[in-house]
Structure 1
Amino acid sequence: MATPVLICDDSNMARKQCARSLPDGWPVDVSFATNGEEGVEAIKEGKAELLLLDLNMPVMDGYEVLEAIRAQDLETMVVVISGDIQPEARSRVKQLGAIDFIKKPVDKEKLTGMLLEYGIIDAELMKAVEETVAPEPKPEKKAAEKKAAPKELPASANDSVPSELDPLLRDCLQELSNVAMGQAGDMLARLLKVFVELPIPNVNLIEVSELCMAFASVEDFHETSGVCQGFIGSGISGEALLILNDSSFGDMAALLNYKGQLDDSAELEVLMDISNILVGAYLKGLAEQLDLHFSRGAPVVLGQHCDVTQLLETKNQAWNRTLAIELSYAIEDYPIKCDLLLFFTEDSIPHLTHHASYLLDD
């Protein structure tokens, strides 16, 4: 009899990756949910003897799903699969009833081993399946086959820049950002000994002037300080901007154990430290997934104690249209507001599409 397995993740790419990572030959009936609310309803319908659950989702996130399962006494075994790899995240999901945690992108061998460990799949059955199923190609062979036949996306390195971002590419970049953002958040959490609240990455092809207006509407004209850092690699180039609300400096300096007077020089040091952590870890995580390397330039101060639109004005002058990835980090129990923006040049988009295409399978 097939085991009902529910994969709950807002990313189509992540759902497919997770489904492909299930053990070969395991009789399963796989269902999908795109957010936590859909996931809870599917559990009630009996579609989730096993639930593979993401944490970072709209409508209802993974923590809220675990709370709903406990509150409503729903029958399911939950394995969390997430890009949020903070130790505190692992601890919290287990306290809420998850049997285990696996980091994204999911490793097939680790998932199979975990399912065997908890008795969710039968070891004797899997042994019999392995004896009848052809062996998997060696990793290097699989990589070569994948390299030879990437998933077709709307643009290639020779195509013009699209007027709108293709949904398939947006979903892919959002999931890549989710993993890279989680690595950066983990580094910040360990350094500051806090829990970092991670957002859902916002990925869009946008006029920089539109971004200025959007920020002006949400920042309530609070003063901010910002630093930018250029990056380049494999035909892809852009700039990363770290923007910190000025009201956050006191708490951030205390968490970093800064001593003495918090003057402009000290605030700049705080800003540079946070930028090095978040920008460096994010770009490293993104590059590893795309199988490339980014070289970073020296950080440049955009401004201190000014309106956010003034910080973005230089980008408005440099580029008209850009691929923008927005990540708004927050720290639990602290009024700290920190935004990381990644701007990719227009001519980078076809190259980024080309690299991302290798990660997509039918």
Structure 2
Amino acid sequence: MTTPVLICDDSSFARKQMARSIPDSWDVEISYAENGQQAIELIKQGKADVMFLDLNMPVMDGYQTMQVIRENDLPCLVIVVSGDVQPQARQRMLEMGALDFIRKPIDNSKLVSLLRQYGIYSGEGSAIKRQTETLKAQPVVSTEEQFDAYRELVNVAMGRAGESLAKQLNEFIELPIPNVNVIETNELQMAINDINVDDRVSAVSKGFVSAGISGEALVIFSDANVDSMVRLLNYQSANTEELQIEALMDISNILIGACLNALSDQLNVNFSHTSPIILGRHCDLEALISNNISRWRKVMAIEIAYAIKDRDIHFDLLLLIPDYAMERVYTRLTDVMELSE
């Protein structure tokens, strides 16, 4: 008997990766949704006995989707597939009725193990045929598809960094949909949407390089948030400036380290890191950028606006990758995905 399966994720790259992992011997009819609103309609049409659900999506995210499923008692087994695996996120979704979580990036062996655990599927685990069909169906890749792959790459890294910070601080970290742009460096300030232009900011920077891929990671803090972070970290010292610098460095090291490690895992490279440095203190965003980010003419700028809403703390992780390295990033990502299947 054919099982209706729904894959709900705003990333086309992630939907394909999920579909490639489904075992060949599992008799399924696969449907796709780009957000929770589309998913609810397909569930109501009987196209989702089993749904693989992302958390961070526009229109209707995974939490909102799960809430609608529970309130309307919709007949659908939900397995969350997400880069955000914070303990609070997992607990929240399980309490609303999700069956389990799978950490992105998904692979065939992880999926088969979970399906067998819950008695959903017990046949052969191989997905070679489905993987081959997926490759044949996409002989040409558009620029938008490449950008979608970059966003999904960063989405996983963003979730890993958020998870590390959540464990360290014992707080829930709000994760956004990453903002990805390819721009001239002199347009960088306009591309950073979530930093108030009137704020004075401080920033920590760390460079990385490997396999022809180089870049810089920056964590940018509004000065208005720094004292809140010091209190959250419960540091003790009479020197306010030292406390603030320690908080900036510690938060930045956690975020940048976890993010770069996740990028390394997905691209199968070992990044060499420069030592973190304070890029600027108590300056405006325009001065910070113009004084420090000028060695590349054009960059892929990836902005991730983290927040701890209960503490009213906001800060941005900014990844800058020069345009010449973008194609190498995409090639590494797709090569690794094919080898892992």
**Please, what TM-score do these two structures have when normalized by structure 2?**
0.90
Task: Kindly state the Cα deviation for residue 46 of structure 1 after the two structures are TM-superposed.
Answer: 1.1
Find the partner of 2:327 among 307, 329, 350.
350
Per-residue displacement from partner, 1:78-122 (whole Å, max 9, x unpaired)? 11011101111111110011011111112322322322232223x
Equivalent AA in structure 2 for residue 311 of structure 1: L
Task: Kindly state the Cα deviation for residue 315 of structure 1 after the two structures are TM-superposed.
Answer: 4.5
Contact 1:213 / 1:309 at 8 angstroms: preserved in 2?
Answer: no
Contact 2:197 / 2:284 at 8 angstroms: preserved in 1?
Answer: no
Equivalent AA in structure 1 for residue 3 of structure 2: T
Tell me whether 1:189 sits opposite 2:166 in the alignment.
Answer: yes
Match of 2:82 in 1: 82
Match of 1:331 in 2: 308
Query: Could you say if the C-alpha distance between residues 215 and 104 of structure 1 is closer, same or farther in structure 2, counting changes exceeding 3 Å?
Result: closer
Contact 1:237 / 1:344 at 8 angstroms: preserved in 2?
Answer: yes
Query: Could you say if the C-alpha distance between residues 360 and 116 of structure 1 is closer, same or farther in structure 2, counting changes exceeding 3 Å?
Result: closer
Contact 2:183 / 2:299 at 8 angstroms: preserved in 1?
Answer: yes
- Cα RMSD over matched residues? 2.4
Query: Could you say if the C-alpha distance between residues 98 and 86 of structure 1 is closer, same or farther in structure 2, counting changes exceeding 3 Å?
Result: same
Task: Kindly state the Cα deviation for residue 153 of structure 1 after the two structures are TM-superposed.
Answer: 7.0
Question: Matched residues in 2 for 1:91 and 1:240: separation?
Answer: 31
Q: Sequence identity of aligned pairs in percent?
A: 46
Match of 1:28 in 2: 28
Equivalent AA in structure 1 for residue 32 of structure 2: F
Match of 1:9 in 2: 9
Q: Secondary structure at the match of 1:196?
A: coil
* Number of aligned residues: 332
Greater displacement, 256-265 / 48-57? 256-265
Q: Secondary structure at the match of 1:350?
A: helix
Match of 2:102 in 1: 102
Query: Could you say if the C-alpha distance between residues 110 and 237 of structure 1 is closer, same or farther in structure 2, counting changes exceeding 3 Å?
Result: closer
Query: Could you say if the C-alpha distance between residues 101 and 267 of structure 1 is closer, same or farther in structure 2, counting changes exceeding 3 Å?
Result: same
Match of 2:41 in 1: 41
Tell me whether 1:240 sits opposite 2:217 in the alignment.
Answer: yes
Contact 2:195 / 2:222 at 8 angstroms: preserved in 1?
Answer: no
Equivalent AA in structure 2 for residue 292 of structure 1: V
Tell me whether 1:225 sits opposite 2:194 in the alignment.
Answer: no
Task: Kindly state the Cα deviation for residue 152 of structure 1 after the two structures are TM-superposed.
Answer: 7.0
Match of 1:70 in 2: 70
Task: Kindly state the Cα deviation for residue 260 of structure 1 after the two structures are TM-superposed.
Answer: 2.6
Question: Matched residues in 1 for 2:336 and 2:12: separation?
Answer: 12
Contact 2:21 / 2:127 at 8 angstroms: preserved in 1?
Answer: no
Contact 1:152 / 1:357 at 8 angstroms: preserved in 2?
Answer: no
Match of 2:256 in 1: 279
Q: Secondary structure at the match of 1:219?
A: coil
Find the partner of 2:186 among 209, 220, 226.
209
Match of 1:158 in 2: none
Match of 1:296 in 2: 273
Match of 1:92 in 2: 92
**Please, what TM-score do these two structures have when normalized by structure 1?**
0.85
Please, which runs of 5 or more residues in structure 2 have no aligned partner? none
Q: Secondary structure at the match of 1:64?
A: helix
Q: Secondary structure at the match of 2:303?
A: strand
Question: Matched residues in 2 for 1:346 and 1:167: separation?
Answer: 15
Contact 2:298 / 2:323 at 8 angstroms: preserved in 1?
Answer: yes
Greater displacement, 178-187 / 315-324? 315-324
Query: Could you say if the C-alpha distance between residues 32 and 217 of structure 1 is closer, same or farther in structure 2, counting changes exceeding 3 Å?
Result: closer
Q: Secondary structure at the match of 2:310?
A: coil
Query: Could you say if the C-alpha distance between residues 262 and 102 of structure 1 is closer, same or farther in structure 2, counting changes exceeding 3 Å?
Result: farther
Find the partner of 1:307 among 266, 284, 287.
284
Contact 1:208 / 1:315 at 8 angstroms: preserved in 2?
Answer: no
Which runs of at least 4 in structure 1 moved beyond 6 Å after TM superposition? 151-154
Tell me whether 1:270 sits opposite 2:240 in the alignment.
Answer: no
Query: Could you say if the C-alpha distance between residues 93 and 170 of structure 1 is closer, same or farther in structure 2, counting changes exceeding 3 Å?
Result: same
Q: Secondary structure at the match of 1:326?
A: strand
Query: Could you say if the C-alpha distance between residues 153 and 324 of structure 1 is closer, same or farther in structure 2, counting changes exceeding 3 Å?
Result: farther
Question: Matched residues in 2 for 1:223 and 1:96: separation?
Answer: 41
Question: Matched residues in 1 for 2:214 and 2:87: separation?
Answer: 33
Contact 2:85 / 2:163 at 8 angstroms: preserved in 1?
Answer: yes
Query: Could you say if the C-alpha distance between residues 109 and 351 of structure 1 is closer, same or farther in structure 2, counting changes exceeding 3 Å?
Result: closer
Equivalent AA in structure 2 for residue 73 of structure 1: D
Question: Matched residues in 1 for 2:194 and 2:116: separation?
Answer: 51
Per-residue displacement from partner, 1:227-272 (whole Å, max 9, x unpaired)? 1111111111111111011121122112222113462222111111
Tell me whether 1:249 sits opposite 2:198 in the alignment.
Answer: no
Task: Kindly state the Cα deviation for residue 217 of structure 1 after the two structures are TM-superposed.
Answer: 8.1
Question: Matched residues in 1 for 2:298 and 2:271: separation?
Answer: 22
Match of 1:159 in 2: none
Task: Kindly state the Cα deviation for residue 359 of structure 1 after the two structures are TM-superposed.
Answer: 4.5
Q: Secondary structure at the match of 2:204?
A: strand
Per-residue displacement from partner, 1:126-145 (whole Å, max 9, x unpaired)? 2xxx4xx9x778xxxx9xx9
Question: Matched residues in 2 for 1:290 and 1:12: separation?
Answer: 18
Contact 1:153 / 1:357 at 8 angstroms: preserved in 2?
Answer: no
Question: Matched residues in 1 for 2:209 and 2:140: separation?
Answer: 22
